């Protein structure tokens, strides 16, 4: 049995893919969260209650350059014991500021390295 496709009504646009979840954040909000507070795209998406794809598209649309993964390699180069000592002395937020990365990145890195 053949399937009959629904025809669009004249003048009606048909959307493709899933409908967007949440509203796209503004340029100033993205600049503050992504550039100044150095939060990850995923963290921003959770805060703004939208998808990470929407955040990535908005960054591109607003001309905000994506960060490189250099901070990851910087964490991998630090021995685990030294990193834990620094966190004990300065706290996670102080260590994050010193290294120029987000606190969530350090927490995730510690979780992954301790699980190895």
DSSP string computed for 31-100: IIIIIIS---HHHHHHHHTS-HHHHHHHHHHHTPPPPPTHHHHHHHHS-HHHHHHHHHHHHHHHHHHHHT
Residue 71 confidence (pLDDT): 47
Q: What is the pLDDT of residues 31-51, one digit of tens each?
A: 999 999 889 899 999 999 999
Lowest pLDDT segment from 10-14, 15-19, 27-31, 97-101: 10-14
Specify the higher pLDDT residue, 36 or 17: 36
């Amino acid at each position: 049995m053949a399937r009959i496709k629904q025809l669009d009504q004249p003048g009606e646009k048909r959307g493709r893919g899933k409908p967007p979840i949440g509203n796209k954040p503004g340029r100033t909000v993205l600049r503050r969260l992504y550039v100044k507070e150095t939060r990850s795209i995923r963290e921003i998406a959770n805060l703004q209650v939208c998808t990470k794809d929407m955040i990535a598209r908005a960054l591109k649309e607003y001309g905000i350059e994506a960060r490189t993964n250099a901070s990851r390699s910087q964490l991998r180069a630090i021995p685990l014991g030294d990193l834990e000592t620094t966190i004990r002395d300065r706290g996670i937020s102080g260590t994050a500021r010193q290294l120029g990365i987000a606190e969530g990145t350090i927490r995730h890195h510690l979780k992954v390295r301790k699980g190895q």
